[in-house]
Structure 1
């Protein structure tokens, strides 16, 4: 099918015709700055300590108080 071949050729050569415009600039900034910064902020703000924990130990730095059982 010529339409499929034309579409495939266009898809494979998209990097040759790429230009920054307002849409691609916004997507690039979101993908390379905002999203990694948000992931880092969430990861940094969490109160987890992954080093040296055993199977039965809590990952939280300050272990939560055990619930009272009836």
Structure 2
């Protein structure tokens, strides 16, 4: 059974991807979004909701909001 040449080419490309990577404005923008913007948004959300909900020892019908 022969292997599909397209699958072999894809495998080779993903194995050697680091050799052909170039910094372009698009890749720089995407990297900046994942390194700085996304963690900052999660941090802002976590900081703004800190202490507002208490999920420990709650029963059915209890309110989880503490604010």
Q: Would you say same fold, with TM above 0.5? A: yes
Q: Could you tell me which runs of 5 or more consecutive residues in structure 2 were left unpaired when the two chains were aligned.
A: none
CA offsets 1:14-68 (integer angstroms, 9 cap, x no match)? 11211211111001000010000001101111152558x4224644332xxxxxx
Relative contact order: is structure 1 or structure 2 higher (C-alpha 8 Å, sep ≥ 6)? 2
User: 1:17-28 counterparts in 2 under 5 A?
Assistant: 17-28=20-31
Ranges in structure 1 where 5+ consecutive residues have no aligned partner: 63-70
TM-score by length of 2: 0.70
Size of the aligned set, in residue pairs, is 61
Question: Over aligned residues, Cα RMSD in angstroms?
Answer: 2.0
